[in-house]
Amino acid sequence: MSDFDPDDDYYDDDEAELVDCPACGAAIYEEAEQCPVCGEYITHSTSPWAGKPGWWVALGMLGIIAMIVAMALS
């Protein structure tokens, strides 16, 4: 007798996550190396600025400049 139960929810956690292709916007698997729709290779950026809105980056740069000026004046 087998312990396998097809109705068991244990195996539902293994489903692959879908993300949008950065080039064409098609839904692709997170582990995909190349988009099957447009053929573009998927690169996962390791930059800390990737995915941040422009105002967030500008605010961060302004904060860094303010700290440098404050240290120079003290």
| pLDDT, tens digit (0-9, with 9 covering 90-100), for 62-73 | 999 999 999 999
Q: What is the pLDDT of residue 42?
A: 87
The answer for 14, left when phi > 0, alpha when psi is -120 to 50, beta otherwise, is alpha
Q: What is the pLDDT of residue 37?
A: 95
Q: What is the pLDDT of residue 73?
A: 93
Return d(Cα 74, Cα 31) in angstroms, integer: 50
Does residue 6 sit in helix, strand or coil?
coil
Task: State pLDDT tens for residues 9-57.
Answer: 555 556 678 989 988 999 999 889 999 999 999 887 667 766 678 888 8
Return d(Cα 31, Cα 16) in angstroms, integer: 8
Residue 1 has pLDDT above 60, yes or no: no
